[in-house]
Each structure stands twice: as C-alpha cells, then as structure tokens.
Amino acid sequence: MNGTQEPSPHKARFTLHSERLGPLPLINHFIGRIGLEDVLERHVPSDARCAVPHARALGVLLRSIIVEREPVYRQQETVHGFASGMFGIRAEEMEHLGDDRLGRALDRLFDADRAALLTDVVLAVAERFGVNFDECHNDSTSISFYGSYRGASGRKIRGRTAPVITYGHSKDHRPDLKQLLFILTMTADGNIPVAFRCTDGNASDSRTHIETWNTLRAVAGRSDFLYVADSNQYPT
C-alpha cells in the first residue's frame, strides 16, 4: 500500500458548477413584463446582416448599466462573467458582442425617434403596473464634463441635432466645467420615471417646462394632473 486513498465512486459522480446570477433574474422579469425588447425592435430595427440585433445589444448595455456600469469595450467580458442568457443574448451571439457592434447599436438609437420610444416604454409601464398620473414631480440637474468637447456644439448628425456641451448654471457648483442639463419627471405614485430628456448645458430651467408638460399630457392622456417643479427653477 502506498497510503493513497481511492476516491469514493459516489463522490466522483458529482461536479460542482457555479454560475453568477446577481440581480439579473429580477431585472429580466421586469424587462420582459414591460415588453422592452419588442419596443426597442420597433424603434431601432435591425436587418439580417446584424449578428446581434440592435435591440438585444441595447438590452445588454441597459443590464450592464444597472448591474456593473462597465465601459463599452468591456461588455463582452461582463456578459461572460454571468450565467448564459442572463444578458438577453444567446451563447452564439456573445462572440460578436464587441465594442463596434455596441457602437453601431448606439448610433441607430441616436437616429431613432427617442421621444416616441420613451413614450411607448412609459405607456407600457403605466398599463402593466397601473401607474397613477394624478401628480408628477419635475426636476433637473447638470452633468459636468471634463475636457473641451469642441465637437459637441449642437451640430446636426444624420438629420438630428445633438445637444450642446457648454458652460451654464452648474448645480454641482463647478462653473469651470462644461455641462449638459438632464430633466427628469416622476410620478408621486412610487416615484416612477415618466419623462426624461437631455438638453443644452446652458438651457434655462424655466424654459423647459412647456415641452415637459406637453410630453406628460401625451403620456397621461389628459391634462388634469398636478405638475410640481422645484421652486428654485423659476427666476426671481
């Protein structure tokens, strides 16, 4: 005898295989319930040449923002770190999930009617979850950028105007940095986001409410709701 113990035949039958799920099963449940992939396919259609359809590529980015917040060039690595299918794409599609593929999907999203897309998403959420639109709260914030961003001057790209990254009233108290203005409106019923848009960094808050109001009227299907905005948005 050499002192080596033979493994039990019963133990040898089992292999431990672990997979990372994180919060993705819960996230995927709500993405499916909203019907988000169908909405994306309608507004950001693909042709047969796409190894990964734009809608599924954007779905990967959405899940990544919620779960990992990794840069575009690391998305393939991020997807491989979770159980197969958790990011909404098939195993054979994962090999084509490079930053070029994701970049093209983002280009097509820019070209799409994003206001209509967001309206469709909000309407789907309202219908499936019974969101109450009796009261909506609006606020805006500035997002600061480091660098010159000379090309972000409001130029037209494929017929659409991009927002201007420029100096404005910084809510981060960083007047030395250029910025964009993010405008978000939520319902008082559970703080559900129902309207969002990004505009020029020097846009005045007081001039944004008419467009937001009209968007909310379209989403709610009525105008007899209470619209609450931050009191310091108005000039004195």
- In this prediction, residue 236 carries a pLDDT of 37
> Tokens at residue 104, please?
């093209």
What pLDDT is attached to residue 233?
Answer: 43
Q: Which DSSP symbol is given to 222?
A: -
Q: How far apart are CA 8 and CA 14, in angstroms?
A: 11
Give the contacts of 13 (CB within 8 A, at least 6 positions apart): none
Note the pTM of the prediction, 2 decimals.
0.80
For residue 19, the model assigns a pLDDT of: 86
pLDDT number for residue 7: 59
How confident is the prediction along the chain (236 residues), in pLDDT tens digits per residue?
455 556 565 566 788 888 889 999 999 999 999 999 999 999 999 988 888 999 999 999 999 999 988 888 888 888 888 988 999 998 888 888 889 999 999 999 999 999 899 999 999 999 999 999 999 999 999 999 999 999 899 999 888 889 999 999 998 899 999 999 999 999 998 899 999 999 999 999 888 999 999 999 999 999 999 999 875 544 43
**Which of 56, 124, 134 is CA-nearest to residue 88?**
56
Which residue reads 């469709």 in tokens?
A: 120
Predicted local confidence at residue 4, as pLDDT:
59
Closest CA to 96 of 52, 30, 140, 159: 52
- Per-residue pLDDT, 234: 42
Q: What is the pLDDT of residue 10?
A: 58
